[in-house]
Amino acid sequence: MNRRFRTPTVWQEMDRLQREMDRLFRATSTNRLGTGGYPAMNIWSNEDKAMITTELPGIDLDDIDISVVGDTLTLSGRRVPEELDEGARYHRQERGFGKFTRSIKLPYTVDGDRVEATYKRGVLSISLPRAEVDKPRKIQVRSA
């Protein structure tokens, strides 16, 4: 029918422009979704303890460095690719490799001496107990 050859309306052109600009910005920015970089972290907490989990498959534990200062945790390390034999050819290369460093702010100050980290199935879990001095104190209200 004739519809196919209708020239696009102004709105369609604006939409298309918007999408092209989005695509352009996405291609240049390295942090989508506002993540602070690699690796992606989830922070869980309750009143006494915070837990950070991050997915780091295939890491050698000697290559990871975790440090805690006050209420900031810094995780750095590197992912090393598997050694290839002579004459190996890649079909696909999607997994990333290289060094990474990330600092993240915790919901409260933590006690650096009691921080523990475990690495299981490629997931690094860091448990950070709240610093005693930071715990909220209940204040009694007396009638005067």
Partner 1 sequence: MEQQNQSLEAEKQEITTTDDTERTRDRQCFIPRADIYETDDTIILLADIPGADENSTDITLEKNVLTLNANVDWNMPGDYGLNYGEYGIGDYQRSFTLSDEIDRENIEATVANGVLRLRLPKSGPAKTKKISVRSG
Distance between CA atoms of 42 and 122, rounded to whole angstroms?
15
CB of 7 to partner 1, least distance (A): 32
Q: How many of the other CB atoms lie within 10 Å of CB of 112?
A: 14
By CB under 8 A, what part of segment 48-107 binds partner 1? Answer: 49-51, 55-59, 79, 81-82, 84-85, 87-98, 100, 107
Nearest CA-CA partner of 44 in 133, 136, 126, 131:
126
By CB under 8 A, what part of segment 11-40 binds partner 1? Answer: 32-33, 35-40
DSSP 48: S
- Residues making contact with partner 1 (CB under 8 A): 32-33, 35-46, 49-51, 55-59, 79, 81-82, 84-85, 87-98, 100, 107, 119, 121-123
